[in-house]
Amino acid sequence: MAIAYPHFFGSEKAKNLKPSLMVTPTPSPVILSQDELKKIAAYKAVEFVESGMVLGLGTGSTAKHAIDRIAELLRIGQLKNIVGIPTSSITHEQAVSLGIPLSDLNAHPILDLAIDGADEVDSQMNLVKGRGGSLLREKMVEAASKKFIVIVDESKLVSHLGGTGLAMPVEIVPFCWEFTLRRLEMLFIEAGCVGKLRVVGESGEPYVSDNGNYIIDLYFKSDMGDLKEASDAILRLAGVVEHGMFLDMATTVIVAGKLGVFVTNK
């Protein structure tokens, strides 16, 4: 369920925001496509990037625009000495093709900034990520970042995580995956949870993550309840590697939509 984002982040959070933290919306008579909105949000996020930074490079259609922009600024000399830490093999390939210098968390355990998209954003800046399959590496990189900027179009705003009725991914080990799926469903039986193994192609072969794992997509008919309790319960299950709820991690959310671009800082 999409929310009108000028009032989305809640009255209590709004009371704590300084005026400078909100970008004045600039309505446009031109109707922009979803991809154009993603590009606007991505370019706004790159304004936070400074020369000499170690950057977490996100995965997905919105993050791709940010990486393209970073590479462009490197080419024309507006940015220098950038080091990127990719969150997936796809992002790694994109960054290499664009000439962005890369490293990893072993060499850079603390990052200055990470930029990534999200599948859902609630009013407390909690996220669902991982519908593209890179949630584990994304969470590792973004948890190591001093600042984590989330870039979305307005369709990603929800009243509660799982509120779109779309998948909340959980990365699991392949061993006895059906057993793990059933246990995940039982955790949220009161929320009408249904789990499905993610598959690819007409053959229905299991999707395999960059880490060699499977992904179970959870679908909820109602609110899953307290998110931290839900997170802890999922992670306590043997066989679970990580889930796609990113709680209390985002420091900035940039939303682009028909009313303009809004920047909210925690």
Q: Are strands 127-128 and 120-121 parallel, antiparallel or unpaired?
A: antiparallel
> Quick check: 245 and 227 in contact, CB under 8 A?
yes
Would you name the residues annotated as active-site residues? 138
